[in-house]
């Protein structure tokens, strides 16, 4: 049983230490643009599944299940941008988003 809460790990370029990629379906990306942005993961019905603050370097990462997902980037001024992505077990799906 984990004692970890629901806060996201630090959003770094490399996968966090101790993560066995073979058991994970990772979606990650880089956001370019001014100001603070948030990355939100929506499932194939459009429902919220997770959200992280994009790091100062523009990085975000999700540990999803295999399948179709949408990443919604939320930035200041009411700007949102949706990107569709497929996650596969043991792989990292890499995105680049400009807002």
Partner 1 sequence: MSRSAVLVDADWVEANLDTPGVVLVEVDEDTSAYDKGHIRGAVKIDWRDDLQDPVRRDFVDKAGFEALLSARGIANDDTVVLYGGNNNWFAAYAYWYFKLYGHENVKLLDGGRKKWELDSRELVTDVPERPATNYQAKDQDLSLRAFRDDVVAAIGTLNLVDVRSPDEFTGKLLAPAHVPQEAAQRGGHVPTARNIPWSKAANDDGTFRSNEELKELYAGAGVDFGKDTIAYCRIGERSAHTWFVLHELLEQPNVKNYDGSWTEYGSLVGVPIELGEAR
Q: Which residues bind partner 1 (CB under 8 A)?
A: 1-10, 16, 19, 23-24, 35-36, 38, 40-41, 43, 45, 47-53, 61-65, 72, 74-77, 80
Which lies closer to partner 1 via its Cβ, residue 65 or residue 96?
A: 65
Which lies closer to partner 1 via its Cβ, residue 63 or residue 97?
A: 63
Which lies closer to partner 1 via its Cβ, residue 50 or residue 58?
A: 50
Give me the least distance between CB of 64 and partner 1, in Å please.
Answer: 5
Q: Cα angle vertex 54, ends 83, 16, to 5°?
A: 100
């Amino acid at each position: 049983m984990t004692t970890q809460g629901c806060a996201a790990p630090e959003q770094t370029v490399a996968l966090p230490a101790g993560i066995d990629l073979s058991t994970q379906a990772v979606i990650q990306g880089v956001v370019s643009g001014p100001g603070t942005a948030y990355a939100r993961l929506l499932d194939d019905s459009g429902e919220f599944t997770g959200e992280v603050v994009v790091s100062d370097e523009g990085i975000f990462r999700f540990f999803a299940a295999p399948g179709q997902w949408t990443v919604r980037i939320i930035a200041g001024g009411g700007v949102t941008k949706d990107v569709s992505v497929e996650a596969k077990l043991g792989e990292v799906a890499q995105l680049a988003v400009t807002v």
